Every structure is written in structure tokens, then in C-alpha cells.
Amino acid sequence: MSVKAKLPPFEALCPLPVVLLTCQDEEGKSNIITLAWVGICSSDPPQLSASVAPSRHSHDILEKAGYFVINVPSIPLLEKVDQAGCVSGRDVDKWQEIGFTPVPSDLAGAPLIEECPINIECKTRQYISLGGHDMFIGKILSVHANKDILDAEGGVDFAKAQPFCFNHGEYWSLGEKIGSIGMSKKA
């Protein structure tokens, strides 16, 4: 029998996906921010949430823009993803500094990151002030995926996409598939 230690409240949920959020201001200048405080919050209509600290450069852009793109990076981009989280768009043009390639989006205004195998265009539906972070809930308008990561049925093969996650100050790979939804009913 395991013995549990009671800990003070903290962000104990893990793992969290690592993404690059792109947003664009009214003058057409776009920015990139590395985030891990993201997740799916509805499937009908499909929506996701992205939480950003009010002190971040992207926060003001997100408040006004009404649209954003979630770009899912792959393991080979790890160093660039970390770099995007260590510099501010107030001080540098992250596109130039890091070497990401902007690609026009279909609907969201903000550019997609070409190097990321998955890009999710979102329209902000709600903005909730929570304290240390503000949550932007976005309706998913469109999903783009590199053709080379698709499986035979046209879905994303996540082994090929190679997303990674965040665990309390560390980046982790996802490892291997260990099951599927409904597997217990099939047994």
C-alpha cells in the first residue's frame, strides 16, 4: 500500500502540451509565445484554451486581436521552442531571431509556423481573468497538418508528428502508445 504525502496547492497536472502560439496586432506585426498552459475545453464546437500571463507581450495582442494560432512543434524544434520562451517579442522579432517561417493563415490573421507539423487556427470566444494568467478560449476554425505526418486514413500519426510535453520545468517526449479509448470494453 502506498503512503500519500499531502502537498500544498500547485500546478500538479502533468504532462502539458508544449505549443507555440502566434498572434498578430492591428498593424500586422505578429509574435510567437511558447506556452504549456493549454488544453482542449470542448469538442462541440471544438475549442481550446490558452492561458497567458498579463505581463507577456502577446497578452495585449491577444486581448485585441480576436484570433490566434496554436502551432504544435516537433522534437527537432525543441531548442527553438525553448528560445522563443526565453526572449520577449517586445525586444526582438522572434521570427528573425529564431528562424521560424511565417505562413499566412486561412482565417485567423496570425501566421502559421511552417516548421510546426500541426497548426490550429482559432477565434477567441471568451477571455477570463484568473489571476496570474488569463485564459483565452478559442473556437477551432481550421487545422493544418503536414502531409508527411498523416496516416493511411488521413488522420494525424502522432508518432510521426513527435509532439513533446512540459513537466514542471522540464521538456519530455511522449514515449510510446500504450492503449486506445474503449480498449477495456474490447477485452
Q: Is residue 66 a part of any domain in this protein? A: yes
For residues 19-39, average pLDDT: 97
CA–chain centroid gap for 125, Å, is 17
Q: Is residue 148 a part of any domain in this protein? A: yes
pLDDT higher for 48 or 2? 48
CATH assignment at residue 54: 2.30.110.10
Number of domains observed in the structure of the chain: 1
Q: Is residue 187 a part of any domain in this protein? A: no
Distance CA 4, CA 74 (A): 35
Q: What is the DSSP letter of 16?
A: E
Q: For residue 1, what pLDDT is reported?
A: 78
What residue numbers bound the domain in which 65 lies?
A: 16-176
Per-residue pLDDT band for 180 (boundaries 50, 70, 90) equals confident
Write down the mean pLDDT value for the chain: 95
183: phi then psi, degrees, rounded to nearest 5: -65, -30
pLDDT of 79 > 70? The answer is yes
The 10s digit of each residue's pLDDT in 136-168 is 999 999 999 999 999 999 999 999 999 999 999
Q: Is residue 4 a part of any domain in this protein? A: no
Per-residue pLDDT band for 187 (boundaries 50, 70, 90) equals low
Q: For residue 176, what pLDDT is reported?
A: 85
Q: Is residue 2 a part of any domain in this protein? A: no
Per-residue pLDDT band for 71 (boundaries 50, 70, 90) equals very high
**What residues contact residue 39 under an 8 Å CB cut-off, 6+ apart?**
16, 17, 48, 49
Query: Is residue 66 left, alpha or beta, with left meaning phi > 0 and alpha meaning psi from -120 to 50?
Result: left
Q: For residue 175, what pLDDT is reported?
A: 85
Q: Is residue 9 a part of any domain in this protein? A: no
Q: Is residue 182 a part of any domain in this protein? A: no
Q: For residue 135, what pLDDT is reported?
A: 98
The number of beta carbons lying within 10 Å of the beta carbon of residue 132 is 10
Total residue count of the chain as it appears in this document? 187
Q: For residue 126, what pLDDT is reported?
A: 96
Selection from 62, 119, 55, 57 nearest residue 84 by Cα: 57
* Residue 127 contacts residue 139 (beta carbons within 8 Å): no
